[in-house]
Chain A
């Protein structure tokens, strides 16, 4: 294999891994300098992942399957490992023969892949061996025996109406223990999901989550759309991350096609990502205050969010930045007057946001509710692979903008706030720090905005290419992995929203807290149901 294609930082890892598993690791392919594939046998995956975790501090960021029976006669399992320090991804690809459709679980060693492995089992019909909790996850219990992501399953299959039990919850028993079921239709204006609290008195003993109520067959749908339409579908994976998801998708397609966005397009991409971060973070800060009855702060937060959404509309024609993402860069360039409006927003937000933060910081009754509430310990966060805001509030020093610079983040120095306390207060604090950093980044980007076009032509994307796209969205890291098919279509699109990674952490953070604090703990994570369920 040609090591010259591998980035100098990844090369030692690849060399050491090849030596360690001499002759057994299979072919190594390096389609891009920071994205290296090993075609490994299935029985080597567990050892390989453990080795990379122990020796190279690799994170197993996603596990997924691909039905390649037509092309290769097997299912492929993919294990994507991020090496933050080496700024690269190692991806293990392991075949699963259709005659023995099963695979060994890594969830005991890597609890963070618990749900993702079960999703593979549900959607592909590959049986998990040795999983600590192999119950259904992506499909509810009352679904018939179907495997939607297999190629021989038709997208338009009409399934019978569902009835019966959606999920067999575990029993929690004992004197004075009772269950509090909540959802799927919640009291607030939020997405649907079912929570089952087991409580003894006020404190929560155990929280079970039943999600995937808004499963929309999105990954399957990608396989039936032209790639260009996929950009619009990607905007609808999680509305609060419309631009981040669409850009992660475009990034994957551009990498598959070998096209780079032009400099101006990359900078505008970064600015849009920061605008998305701003409106979500500010809305969350307000919503956290509402959940502890400080409604005035939320009204100010909503007022500021509205200012940002209006500027989004002025810059891109849509308040959620929809329609702005496009293959090869961004769709709309901004003229001097639009840039002036953007600069005006930053100038206006600085004092306004400082005043909002002051309002919260000076409210001792608010802080009292936030401090030591919903603690996610750093060790637990690390084990569960918690990413984004929640990860950084629990000691995980990581941000794709800094560690895997995409868009125009290679031109700036991104300051990443990291705290150890892991409570609601610090998830709020991470947001406050990141809002300030976003304002500063937007200013830096406008100051050195290069000229030229905002998007490059992508043209026909060659078939059977695999590529990983990544973006640090406001909530955390987003991955889109694609395998292309002929005629500008996709054979597979795997979407990894940070919410999928972080939901299990909510069950840990709520333990020992009282049920009335659940809304504020939940809001401090603010995970996307749609991004998880797809």
Chain B
């Protein structure tokens, strides 16, 4: 017993102060990719090397529309290896309330050799082109932290309960979600707990492309969760179906089966990205949920 106490005392406090301080990530981390839309010359090499179709383009009548869909992105960085107009940022806080907010696209004039030039329609969408678009800056994490206190205090009595549902994941997301309960990320400091039953939950954290074999179980879990309730789709697979997409065994994105409130991209999203997504979710409850 004394040994246990001694070990705890000598270890000290290891908990991050995020979101008061920015995520403590390595200089080598691959966050979301960023495209220099104005100087992008050719979408084809990046689209060809992208394993999930996150970067794609459509050509028609001498015009090209090229897009980046963060919901599909697995942050592998292969596009940045082949295209100087793309770089991998360190930004992992990519959660969005709307699926469309994860898609950025721009129009170009197509050249005969297949490359493209000059923007014909300005890049639109966030956050992939946040730097250039005139969209209002997203709320800072500090602001989100204040919101969580306000909203969680009012709606969930400073005690948000989460039920995690693996609806088909590879278990990569689960490894990071488990980390939230560890001493470093310690989600309980926000009054947030993981619970064993959907009956006790306010929020469902759903991973995986929803498999056909888990579709019914996911629906039942959702139905068993009392309103008001929130649903978070976690990871590239949960947000979009990811590399698995839709096939005979999978239904793809979580929102094809149950309504989703917040999307957390990543493969897997790291614990900071998960925290950011959960805090984002608590900042808002939809009116139809009775709040």
- Which residues of A are in contact with B by a Cβ distance under 8 Å? 140, 146, 148, 153-159, 161-163, 166, 184-185, 187-192, 212-218, 220-221, 225, 228-229, 232-233, 236-240, 242, 283, 296, 299-300, 302-303, 305-306, 309-310, 313-320, 322-323, 338, 355, 358-359, 362-363, 528-530
Contact = CB atoms under 8 A, between A and B. Distances in A.
B213 A240 contact: no
Given A214-B211, A236-B242, A529-B171, A189 B7 contact: no
Interface string B179-214: 101111000000000101110000000001101111
Nearest to A232: B51
Contacts of A283: 175, 178
Given A299-B182, A314-B26, A213 B211 contact: yes
A221 B247 contact: yes
Contacts of A300: 7, 11
A283 B176 CA distance: 12
A323 B77 contact: yes
B227 to A, nearest CB: 19
B85 interface: no
Contacts of B29: 313, 317-318
Q: State which size class the interface on B falls in.
A: 35 or more
B255 interface: no
Contacts of A315: 28
B197 A187 contact: yes
B171 A240 contact: yes
B177 A242 contact: no
B159 to A, nearest CB: 19
Contacts of B30: 317-318, 323
B247 A217 contact: yes
B4 A296 contact: yes
B249 A215 contact: yes
Interface of B: 3-4, 7-8, 11, 14, 25-30, 49, 51-52, 74-78, 88, 164-179, 181-184, 194, 196-198, 208-209, 211-217, 221, 237, 242-244, 246-250, 267-268, 270
Nearest to B24: A310
- Most chain A CB within 10 A, of B169, B212, B250, is at B212
Contacts of A323: 30, 75-78
B172 A359 contact: no
5 shortest interchain CB distances as A-B pairs: A239-B172, A302-B182, A187-B196, A217-B249, A232-B51
B79 to A, nearest CB: 12
Contact of A232 (B74, B209, B248): B74
Nearest to A323: B76
A236 B7 contact: no
A359 B6 CA distance: 11
A154 B184 CA distance: 46
Contacts of A157: 247-248
Contacts of A213: 168, 211, 213-214, 217
A317 B196 CA distance: 33
A239 B51 contact: no
Interface centre among A157, A162, A185 (most CB of B within 10 A): A185
26 contacts: A159-B212, A161-B212, A163-B216, A185-B166, A185-B198, A191-B174, A213-B211, A213-B214, A214-B169, A214-B213, A215-B249, A216-B247, A220-B248, A221-B244, A228-B49, A228-B51, A232-B74, A233-B243, A236-B243, A239-B171, A302-B182, A314-B26, A322-B267, A323-B30, A529-B171, A530-B170
Contacts of B194: 189
B172 A320 contact: yes
